[in-house]
Amino acid sequence: MVYKNILVGYDGSKASRKAVEKATKIAKMFGAKLILVTVIPSPVPLVGELLVPETFELKEAVETAKRELEKMAKELSEIHEINIEYQVLQGDPAEELTRYAEEKGCDLIIVGRRGAGKLGRLLLGSVS
């Protein structure tokens, strides 16, 4: 099988960094485009309160994620000489990753097997 577009879910965890490393190797091997994606979960109401940060903090989280992905994409592109795109989405991580992969015509989706700890998964979701 030949891969042309590889999407990798990145949430800042050690497992997602390893997923990016593996995806980079595969992209280089096949001459594929690597698409780095971070999904910021939408606010979830919990007993009348918001479980995740308010709108301002969500916007800040999106901007921080964009800067991090941009830096990573630039470094990986220069070091490995591969074509890289990046995108920050908002919503349910699993749904958004699969939707975006279909939209971009991805042949392969790579995610880490484990992300943040229990609290991190509760607040940030899990892509795997």
Residue-wise pLDDT tens for the chain (128 aa)? 899 999 999 999 999 999 999 999 999 999 999 999 999 987 765 555 555 556 678 888 899 999 999 999 999 999 999 999 999 999 999 999 999 999 999 999 999 986 554 434 444 444 55
Residue identified by tokens 């690597």 is: 34
- Which two structure tokens, joined as six digits, stand for 115? 């992300």
Q: Is 103 left (phi over 0), alpha (psi -120 to 50) or beta?
A: alpha
The one-letter amino acid at 28: K
pTM of the model: 0.81
Q: How high is the pLDDT of residue 104?
A: 98
